[in-house]
Amino acid sequence: MVCREQRGATVTQNSGRVRWGRGLVAGRVVARAGGPESGPVTARRRAPAGGPKGGPVATRRRAPAGGSRSGPVATRGRARAGGRWCGLVTVLGLVLAVGLAGPAGARAAATGICESSAHPALAARLSRGILAALHGRSSAVGLRVVDRRTGVTCSLHPHWHFASASVVKVTILSALLRKLQQEHKALTSQQRALATEMITESDNQAASLLWDQTGRPALQQFLDLARMRQTELGPGGFWGLTLINAHDEMLLLKLLTSRNSVLTGKSRDYVLTLMAHVVSSQRWGVTAGAPDDVTAHVKNGWLPLQTHGWRINSIGSFSGHGRDYMVVMLTMDNPTMAYGIDTIQGAAEVINRELNPGATDTVPPAAPAPSWGTPDEPVPPGANSVDGT
């Protein structure tokens, strides 16, 4: 097996040939047919566990339980040479004959996306409002809303996968805290400083250091304990290419906001406190329209890739004054960072308004900041940003 980190390098195995770009290339094809219950198909090319590193490459197609085989497709190729990740395959020319593209809202317009046995009228208003806000947008959207107070839940393509960008930093910190709990240790002063920078300022160097210090085994163990079984860690040190979906991110928020056997109350409070102190320039997204007197614990991510444009993601939990709800919105196919943020904020305003009736002093949608348009993390070589930089 041969793997070279240069453009046009070829991986040859058993007379088969796979083209790799320079370094790391992410490829994704989205099929947009199907309603809100449609799940993704994840096609992965990997050497089977337990086999030799030069063994045959296997392809697996998977749809989550209850999902159909229409929805986004994430294709990832992996190869190792001397223990190094050689890259991700860019899949070109892959066409899924399952329907034509359409706006995010139109894909689910046939049915409501929210439900509540106790508050059906509220659920209906939320469904109409969210779909109206998404109507006509080019963004592909995965959404989950859970309000513990009213019992309202909303789901739109919850099993579709998206590159995480910096949203995964919440998982990194949570996994590190779980690891230290098992070792009966506390965060060091250096780790506390790195954690603060990683969450509140979205510092990438801090994230890379904590990703390495946590280690893949502990990261995967946390995902398993949290039942985030549809989340796939990014290869090597590319934490921002972790594949996430709205279903698993909601599991993470539930874990952080309720008692459980995975994280202690002290660990959960620590993560949420940092999320409540994210710098103002990064508090856009699901916070739009939330009441001023509610505490928003938020983390956002933004990353442009050559295929399917900007990944713009926002997760958050809202507490205080009787509120207790969580919102996850993941998007791609955004032509610009600002466009993706507008997509999320349009739906978020509906959600926050309907879940907080009578609120007058609310958080306005964020206005474009000078930093908008700058990737949240270095774009992997070969996975060029949408503007060619």
The verdict on residue 91 lying in a domain is no
Q: Would you state the pLDDT for residue 374?
A: 76
Asked whether the beta carbons of 306 and 387 are under 8 A apart, the reply is no
Enumerate residues 6+ apart whose C-beta is below 8 A from 65.
Answer: none
Q: Based on the domain organization, do 334 and 269 belong to the same domain?
A: yes
How big is the CA angle at 23 (ends 20 and 25), to the nearest 5 degrees?
A: 60
Q: Based on the domain organization, do 18 and 166 belong to the same domain?
A: no
Q: Based on the domain organization, do 124 and 161 belong to the same domain?
A: yes
| pLDDT of 13 higher than 80 | no
Q: Would you state the pLDDT for residue 35?
A: 38
10 Å Cβ neighbour count for 186?
12
pLDDT-derived band at 360 (thresholds 50, 70, 90) equals confident
Q: Based on the domain organization, do 250 and 305 belong to the same domain?
A: yes
Mean pLDDT throughout 37-61?
38
Q: Based on the domain organization, do 178 and 315 belong to the same domain?
A: yes
Nearest of 188, 183, 210 to residue 198 by alpha carbon: 210
The verdict on residue 213 lying in a domain is yes
Q: Based on the domain organization, do 124 and 172 belong to the same domain?
A: yes
Q: Provide the pairing of β-strand 10-13 with 27-30.
A: unpaired
Strand order in the sheet with 323-334: 114-115, 153-156, 140-147, 323-334, 310-320, 295-304
Mean pLDDT throughout 335-363?
96
Give the structural domain span for 300.
Answer: 106-355
Average pLDDT score, the chain: 78
Q: Give the residue with greater pLDDT, 96 vs 222.
A: 222
The verdict on residue 92 lying in a domain is no
The verdict on residue 365 lying in a domain is no
| pLDDT of 40 higher than 70 | no
Q: Based on the domain organization, do 80 and 133 belong to the same domain?
A: no
Of the candidates 56, 85, 114, which is a domain's last residue? 85
| pLDDT of 130 higher than 90 | yes
Q: Would you state the pLDDT for residue 367?
A: 82
pTM above 0.85, yes or no: no
Report the percentage of the chain scoring pLDDT > 70: 68
Q: Based on the domain organization, do 172 and 50 belong to the same domain?
A: no
The verdict on residue 26 lying in a domain is yes
Of the candidates 33, 53, 85, which is a domain's last residue? 85
The verdict on residue 246 lying in a domain is yes
The verdict on residue 385 lying in a domain is no
Mean pLDDT throughout 333-360?
96
Q: Based on the domain organization, do 135 and 65 belong to the same domain?
A: no
Q: Which helix (H) or strand (E) holds 172?
A: helix 169-182
pLDDT digits (tens, 9 = 90+) for 23-35: 333 333 333 333 3
Single-letter code of the amino acid located at 132? A
Q: Based on the domain organization, do 314 and 198 belong to the same domain?
A: yes
Q: Would you state the pLDDT for residue 378?
A: 63
Q: Based on the domain organization, do 66 and 123 belong to the same domain?
A: no
| pLDDT of 384 higher than 60 | no
pLDDT digits (tens, 9 = 90+) for 185-212: 999 999 999 999 999 999 999 999 999 9
Q: Based on the domain organization, do 225 and 305 belong to the same domain?
A: yes
Q: Would you state the pLDDT for residue 267?
A: 98
The verdict on residue 302 lying in a domain is yes
Mean pLDDT throughout 320-336?
97
Q: Give the CATH number, domain containing residue 199.
A: 3.40.710.10
Of the candidates 53, 85, 117, which is a domain's last residue? 85
* Domains held by the chain: number: 2
